[in-house]
Structure 1
Amino acid sequence: MKAERFKRYGVVVALAFFCALLLWIGQWSQLPVFSNEGEPRALTQGSEDRSHVALTFNISWGTEKVHEVLKQLEAHKAQATFFISGEWAERHPDIIKEIHEGKHEIGMMGYKYESYLERKPEQVRSDINQAKEAFEKLGFENIKWIRPPHGHMDKEVLTMIENQGMQAVQWSINPRDWENPGTNNIIDAVLNEGSKGDIILMHASDSVKQTAKALEVILPGLKQKGLKFVSITELVSGGESETTQIE
């Protein structure tokens, strides 16, 4: 009888362990992999398996246009990810709070908005660490997404970012709104190309004069295409994401 009881207990324990192992494997399978055989890569697009799209906005200077952008996002109930320089964040903690309270995700663009390709490796590491400290003081710890200033990066920069426990984010659609090419041109560039898994690059600095107006059409237009606005974190979770190897 004791042998039979121990046998039953053994089977139960083995099944419980097996189920726990499957859950653990399933959890890790949901995490995106950004390196290929040791080569660091930049995230460029999410999975095409789900009807998700990520709006991203860069901010490095000015305080006027960001409010117009936030107003449009709120009106259309659209979530976005804001990539912000640490230097700007320190100067405008009230706007950072407003972005966060709007349930938008916070990413960083380093501390100073200066190309990492024009700086020495130790300067790049220092800039990232300084940005981390700036955001931590504002209550944003463990920011995992970084868009290097101007989108400039190479293998060495990506390796430094990876060593910091962060992931570089690029984009798949760029309407070049910072050039102010015309509201309709911005709208067409996004709506004609926007599809599942896209990461859309836009700006909320004061250099953009037409972005907020373009969003009045872009936001409902993407919704009509059956797309849901999500953060970068949600975009890459639960699906295979595309990355780009930087030379």
Structure 2
Amino acid sequence: MIVILNKKFLRIIVAVILLLIIIITGTILYNRKAATSTTTNYATVNRPIERGNENSDYIAFACNVDWGNEVIPEILAILKEKEVKITFFVTGRWVKAFPEMFQEIVKAGHEIGSHGYQHVDYSKLTLDQNKEQIKQTEELIMQYSDKKPVLFAPPSGAYNEYTLISAQELGYKTILWSIDTIDWRQGSTRDVIVKRVIEKPNHRGAIVLMHPMPETAKALPTLIDELQGKNLKVGGVSDVLMD
């Protein structure tokens, strides 16, 4: 009798253990699925935009700002003189640290895009971390601008599926570039920067990436003049995205 009871008890224990294994496995799989998906299906997420309409009359200048305060006034003065409006992608931490400088960009009428809160590798961030970076920056931008940003440029062009999902769900288009000035690299003089841009084919609808570097400011008037000489209008990212 004791043996029979022990066998029944053993079977119950085994059944309970199997049930617990099934429950735990299901929970793990569910959490993994929840961590890698949101209300947006990744297969339907818009991929990063590297260039706009190739039939556009515009070429876009995108200036990523996380530093370079000493150069920004000169760049703004050149753009004002040339009557050109471009897109400035700003980090949230920069806006927070230099609100007066940011307001000068806004007052000048340039398009404002998000560069995330910190200049970190977004391809290594989780879904929640990506969203928080974009949300924080939006809140800061909206403190000094009455227009919600709709363009997002991840630092260094680094992103993962969570970055794209986060941007789309928060109402942003993810922007990269088609022409890189590489103006941050040592040896990137005014002439080198101009050459990198002008010698590229297919300028129509292109997005030119730049930063507030001294040599970039020197190259800016020549770049604008030469591109306009090719019957192109120099503008912001939204200009080249129009049909």
TM-score of the pair, normalised by structure 1: 0.76
Where 1:136 maps in the other structure, the secondary structure is helix
1:70-124 CA deviation, whole Å, 9 max, x = no partner? 1221121121000000111122222222112222100011111111123333222
C-alpha distance in structure 1 between counterparts of 2:42 and 2:179, whole Å:
23
C-alpha distance in structure 1 between counterparts of 2:146 and 2:154, whole Å:
18
1:223 alignment partner AA: Q
1:42 paired with 2:41, answer no
Once the 2 structures are TM-superposed, how far is the Cα of residue 37 of structure 1 from its aligned partner?
6.2
Where 2:136 maps in the other structure, the secondary structure is helix
List structure 1 runs of 4+ shifted beyond 6 angstroms. none
1:160 paired with 2:171, answer no
- Equivalent of residue 189 in structure 2, options 182, 191, 194: 182
Aligned 8 A contact 2:114 2:149 in 1: yes
1:211 paired with 2:216, answer yes
| RMSD across aligned positions (CA) | 1.8
Where 1:201 maps in the other structure, the secondary structure is strand
Aligned 8 A contact 2:45 2:168 in 1: no
Q: Give the number of aligned pairs.
A: 201
Structure 2 gaps of 5+ residues are 1-40
1:186-212 CA deviation, whole Å, 9 max, x = no partner? 0001111161101000001xxx23111
Match of 1:170 in 2: 176
C-alpha distance in structure 2 between counterparts of 1:36 and 1:52, whole Å:
31
2:210 alignment partner AA: M
C-alpha distance in structure 2 between counterparts of 1:144 and 1:232, whole Å:
11
- Equivalent of residue 142 in structure 1, options 132, 140, 148: 148
1:53 paired with 2:65, answer no
Where 1:40 maps in the other structure, the secondary structure is coil
Where 1:68 maps in the other structure, the secondary structure is helix
1:201 paired with 2:206, answer no
1:99 alignment partner AA: I
2:84 alignment partner AA: A
Larger radius of gyration: 2
Aligned 8 A contact 1:83 1:109 in 2: yes
C-alpha distance in structure 1 between counterparts of 2:161 and 2:71, whole Å:
34
* Larger strand share, 1 or 2: 1
Where 1:45 maps in the other structure, the secondary structure is coil
C-alpha distance in structure 1 between counterparts of 2:166 and 2:67, whole Å:
25
Structure 1 gaps of 5+ residues are 1-34, 240-247
C-alpha distance in structure 1 between counterparts of 2:210 and 2:83, whole Å:
17
1:133 paired with 2:139, answer yes
1:226 paired with 2:231, answer yes
Match of 2:11 in 1: none
1:220 alignment partner AA: D
1:226 alignment partner AA: N
Once the 2 structures are TM-superposed, how far is the Cα of residue 62 of structure 1 from its aligned partner?
3.6
* C-alpha spacing 1:169/1:223, structure 2 compared with 1 (3 Å): same
Match of 2:106 in 1: 100
